[in-house]
């Protein structure tokens, strides 16, 4: 039987607080984990440390031109210092990024959310190195980012994607009830409701307080 992510092995607990708590400032509360991918390869999954620009540079180096265009919606040849610094400016509450790191230390995938102006919605984005596609990395990172966003009080994730980016639209729509609407030329606006898929809500409880599940 093929499983999407076969197994997860907790390696180390590096922070205080309960797993799943987003924390506020400093290092994220949950541990880094070793994850066995569907093809047996392993990656370590960890929240990005604030200021870890080296991980951003490593990740960007693995993205081909089409991947960069799909992620940044622009033909980005290289990351300028400002973008690098913005991408590394995580605080584990308003801005969270989860990275997948290969055994050789290369960062092969990053998913993140960035809260929109103190609201209960946040932008979500993901990109996986070209050589690491189709192994379930994006699905796994998005699941974790969505869980952390929920824990930080985010109720809706949004993304602007290429209208032809069916892979990411499908991956995002697995996070919760999703609407896909027109945006600019060639782009779509994807909105995911995180509230109706909160893991702590059993169907009976959801029914009893009148919300859909
Ligand atoms: C979209 C993207 C993040 C997916 O990453 P990924 O790690 O390959 O995704 P996963 O392996 O978790 O899932 C990919 C899905 O496409 C399917 N797929 C089929 N062939 C594939 C291929 N050659 N490459 C990737 N996925 C493939 C996979 O089977 C999987 O579907 P499934 O879960 O139903 O089996 C990656 O392609 C990417 O970085 N794209 C460019 C950046 C981007 O578009 N970002 C979105 C901006 S929000």
CA 125–ligand 1 middle distance (angstroms)? 13
| 95 found inside a domain | yes
CA 89–ligand 1 middle distance (angstroms)? 25
What CATH number does the domain containing 40 carry?
A: 3.40.630.30
| 48 found inside a domain | yes
137-151 and 166-173 are packed helices; what angle lies between their axes, rounded to 10 degrees? 40
Question: Quick check: 22 and 51 in contact, CB under 8 A?
Answer: no
Q: Which of 65, 128, 129, 158 to mutate to test the pocket of ligand 1 (most atoms within 8 A of CB)?
A: 128
List per-residue pLDDT tens for the chain, 213 residues long: 222 343 343 333 333 333 333 333 445 545 799 999 999 999 999 999 999 999 999 999 999 999 999 999 999 999 999 999 999 999 999 999 999 999 999 999 999 999 998 789 999 999 999 999 999 999 999 999 999 999 999 999 999 999 999 999 999 999 999 999 987 889 999 999 999 866 654 443 333 333 332
Domain that holds residue 156: 5-207
Atom of ligand 1 nearest to the CA of 127: 39
| 89 found inside a domain | yes
| 108 found inside a domain | yes
CB 176 less than 6 A from any atom of ligand 1: no
How far apart CA 108 and CA 101 sit, in angstroms, is 6
CB 125 less than 6 A from any atom of ligand 1: yes
| 99 found inside a domain | yes
Q: How many domains does the chain have?
A: 1
| 213 found inside a domain | no
| 212 found inside a domain | no
CA 63–ligand 1 middle distance (angstroms)? 13
| 44 found inside a domain | yes
């Amino acid at each position: 039987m093929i499983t999407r992510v076969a197994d997860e092995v907790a390696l180390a607990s590096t922070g205080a607080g309960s797993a799943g708590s987003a924390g506020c400032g400093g290092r994220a509360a949950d541990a880094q984990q070793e994850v066995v991918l569907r093809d047996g390869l392993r990656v370590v999954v960890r929240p990005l440390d604030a200021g870890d620009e080296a991980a951003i540079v490593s990740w960007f180096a693995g993205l081909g031109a089409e991947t960069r265009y799909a992620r940044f919606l622009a033909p980005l040849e290289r990351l300028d210092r400002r973008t690098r610094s913005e991408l590394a400016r995580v605080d584990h509450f308003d801005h969270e990024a989860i990275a997948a790191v290969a055994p050789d230390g290369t960062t092969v995938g990053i998913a993140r959310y960035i809260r929109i102006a103190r609201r209960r919605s946040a932008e979500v984005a993901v990109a996986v190195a070209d050589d690491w596609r189709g192994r379930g990395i994006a699905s796994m990172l998005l699941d974790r980012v969505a869980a952390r966003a929920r824990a930080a009080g985010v109720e809706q994730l949004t993304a602007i994607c290429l209208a032809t980016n069916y892979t990411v639209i499908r991956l995002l729509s697995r996070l919760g009830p999703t609407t896909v609407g027109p945006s600019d030329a060639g782009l779509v606006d994807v909105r995911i409701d995180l509230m109706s898929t909160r893991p702590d809500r059993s169907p009976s409880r959801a029914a009893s307080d009148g919300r859909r599940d």
